[in-house]
């Protein structure tokens, strides 16, 4: 049996950085990764997908260049092998960077293999037994494959496998109208594929307010994406030239099917029962406000704990654990204000409550909206789709939430994120003097239009 001061299971966006901090403190740490360092973000999420999004946007801008007085003769062609290779290069550079970083650390032992608990202080991997007084789980999540008629008879894609495509689908059917599915839908439409989105719920991006969901649908439809919502029945069958997707309202002749119906935590094969670690009904590891599980000496970080399925929330889990365990702080998950983005084009930046949540809270609220068509930068760039929306508490004057669907919305939202984290009231932010001409300069204007509802 090999003894360590700490064992980290999973090489995503929380565990490796926590392991590095512990090594800096002179601890002996084992980092166990089943497959690739970097987790979903580096290998199958943010980095490769946003690289693909950039290629898709380049194609879109080239096709529409005449609007800007730039004439490109001939048809805009897509070389999917180059597109794929570019995304793979970005991934490999990041992954190899982590490998090199850890290789230079005294006190760090990186082990590739499948770890399982033997008891609360012991794990086995590759036939070896390791023990430590502190064990951190950062095992991530994977795509959910629903039990739909005929699904096992077809070769479907997931968000992990689709990034390796080096040919262009004739017609991509996307099952699931949430964030992952919508990004791939627009991406492949811009590459030149026919695209259909099939969503069980009544609207796309179900977490968002209805006006935001409707605006997202408008953006996608304007690019020729076929959208089906409120679909109750879906079945698949092989056809002579691809896959038939039959719903209660349509029949789609697809060449490829992407299953984008959510993700589930990688907790079902860790031997958590042997350690006594509790999970909820969805398999997420139950943690307290400091990310500790019900078993002393075991913590869960990142996607597997159900407190955020994003790279930045996973990294913040590392920050919370490191601050509390190594720096004597008292940081809590409940202090985190959730923010995220949807990387369609234009992107959606989101922070805090939706209007629906704010109304349900019983607060007296104020709301302001402004179309992007009234934003100078958007007009100058010829990208006027979408709108800004801010919700505030009428009594405390604190901003409760915001949504910016529009050009640079994923960056502009950070002015509001920072204000909310600092506890700044909207009147104070209203009197800031932002730079012209930017999208951010309209934030004070939107705040000035807040009205009670």
Active site residues: 436
Question: Would the annotation count 179 as a binding residue?
Answer: yes
Helix (H, G, I), strand (E, B) or coil at 370: strand
Question: Would the annotation count 343 as a binding residue?
Answer: no
Bridge partner residues of 183 (DSSP): none
Question: Would the annotation count 262 as a binding residue?
Answer: yes
Question: Would the annotation count 25 as a binding residue?
Answer: no
Strand-strand pairing, 348-352 and 339-342: antiparallel
CA atoms of 44 and 252, how far apart (whole Å):
27
Question: Would the annotation count 276 as a binding residue?
Answer: no
CA atoms of 102 and 40, how far apart (whole Å):
18
Question: Would the annotation count 208 as a binding residue?
Answer: no
Give the H or E element holding residue 102: helix 80-103
Residue 97 CB contacts under 8 Å (≥ 6 apart), including other chains:
none
Question: Would the annotation count 223 as a binding residue?
Answer: no
Question: Would the annotation count 50 as a binding residue?
Answer: yes
Residue 205 CB contacts under 8 Å (≥ 6 apart), including other chains:
177, 178, 179, 182, 212, 213, 216, 342, 348
Give the H or E element holding residue 131: strand 128-131
Question: Would the annotation count 206 as a binding residue?
Answer: no
Residue 91: which of 134, 142, 145, 49 has the closest Cα?
A: 49
Question: Would the annotation count 183 as a binding residue?
Answer: yes
Question: Would the annotation count 192 as a binding residue?
Answer: no
Question: Would the annotation count 199 as a binding residue?
Answer: yes
CB atoms under 10 Å from CB of 310, counted, come to 20
Question: What residues are designated binding site?
Answer: 50, 176-183, 199, 262, 303
Residues annotated within a binding site for NAD(+) = 176-183, 199, 262
């Amino acid at each position: 049996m090999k003894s360590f001061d700490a064992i980290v299971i999973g090489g995503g966006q929380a565990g490796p950085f926590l392991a590095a901090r512990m090594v800096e403190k002179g601890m002996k740490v084992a980092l166990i990764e089943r497959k690739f360092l970097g987790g979903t973000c580096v290998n199958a999420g943010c980095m490769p997908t946003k690289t693909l999004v950039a290629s898709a946007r380049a194609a879109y801008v080239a096709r529409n260049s005449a609007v800007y007085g730039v004439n490109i003769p001939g048809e805009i062609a897509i070389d999917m092998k180059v597109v794929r290779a570019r995304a793979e290069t970005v991934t490999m550079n990041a992954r190899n960077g982590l490998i090199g970083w850890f290789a230079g650390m005294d006190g760090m032992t990186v082990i590739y293999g499948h770890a399982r608990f033997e008891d609360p202080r012991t794990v086995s991997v590759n036939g070896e037994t390791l023990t430590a007084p502190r064990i951190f789980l950062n095992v991530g999540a994977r795509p959910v494959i629903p039990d739909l008629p005929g699904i096992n008879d077809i070769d479907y894609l997931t968000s992990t496998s689709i990034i390796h495509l080096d040919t262009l689908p004739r017609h991509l059917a996307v099952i699931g109208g949430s964030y992952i599915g919508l990004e791939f839908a627009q991406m492949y439409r811009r590459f030149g594929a026919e695209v259909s989105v099939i969503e069980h719920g009544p609207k796309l991006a179900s977490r968002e307010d209805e006006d935001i969901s409707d605006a997202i649908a408008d953006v996608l439809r304007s690019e020729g994406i076929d959208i089906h919502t409120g679909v109750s029945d879906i079945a698949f069958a092989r056809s002579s030239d691809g896959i038939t997707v039959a719903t209660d309202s349509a029949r789609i002749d697809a060449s490829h099917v992407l299953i984008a119906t959510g993700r589930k935590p990688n907790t079902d094969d860790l031997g958590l029962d042997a350690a006594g670690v509790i999970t909820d009904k969805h398999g997420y590891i139950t943690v307290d406000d400091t990310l500790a599980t019900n078993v002393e000496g075991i913590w869960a970080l990142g996607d597997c704990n159900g407190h955020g399925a994003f790279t930045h929330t996973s990294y913040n889990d590392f920050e919370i654990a490191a601050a509390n365990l190594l720096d004597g702080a008292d940081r809590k998950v409940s202090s985190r204000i959730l923010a995220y983005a949807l990387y369609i084009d234009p992107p959606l930046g989101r922070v805090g409550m939706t209007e629906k949540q704010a109304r349900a809270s019983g607060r007296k609220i104020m709301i302001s909206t402004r179309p992007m068509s009234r934003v100078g930068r958007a007009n100058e760039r010829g990208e006027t789709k979408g709108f800004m929306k801010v919700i505030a508490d009428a009594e405390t004057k604190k901003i409760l939430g915001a949504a910016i669907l529009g050009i640079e919305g994923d960056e502009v939202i950070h002015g509001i994120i920072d204000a909310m984290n600092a506890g700044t009231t909207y009147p104070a932010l209203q009197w800031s003097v932002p730079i012209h001409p930017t999208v951010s300069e309209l934030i004070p204007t939107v705040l000035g239009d807040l009205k009670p509802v």
